[in-house]
Amino acid sequence: MRKVIYTNKAPEAVGPYSQAIESKNTLYISGQIPVDPKTGKIVEGGIKEQTRQVLKNTGEILKEAGYSYNNVVKSTCLLSDMDNFKDMNEAYAEFYKNDPPARAAYGVVKLPLGVMVEIETIAIKP
């Protein structure tokens, strides 16, 4: 079974994809970028502010599907500049204080809308 997850508390998809898909007890969240869903604009500030907004958006999708940050098992972080890795880590750690999920981080040439960070997430329910 496949269920599309949508919340207006996270940004609309900027292409032909869903915010998230749940299959059985697994939630696959599409890459989130630092768009404030209230304004539709990229948040002001640097990598820490952008990372926080990405993870707030992720949290709203998790909540809509009945999950929490504690259910996250894997994150993939895409950075437009690996020099931002340390500061991204500091903001990321605010959301995953205990037993953080497995994670990969990659430096990429460019991200949608010129943002500094995009994070995709996988969560499971026990």
pLDDT tens by residue, 21-78: 999 999 999 999 999 999 999 999 999 999 999 999 999 999 999 999 999 999 999 9
Residue holding tokens 């340390």? Answer: 86
6: pLDDT confidence band, cut at 50, 70 and 90? very high
Per the listing, tokens 């020099």 go with 83
Exposure string for 48-86, b = 16+ CB within 10 A, e = fewer: bbbbbbbbbbbbbbbebbebebebbeebebbbbeeebee
Is the pLDDT at 1 greater than 90, yes or no?
no
The rounded distance, in Å, linking the Cα atoms of 102 and 19 is: 21
On the question of pLDDT at 126 being above 90, the answer is no
Measured between its terminal Cα atoms, the distance across the chain in Å is: 17
Q: Domain 2-124: what homologous superfamily?
A: RutC-like (3.30.1330.40)
Q: pTM for this one?
A: 0.96
- Domain spans of the chain, in order of start: 2-124
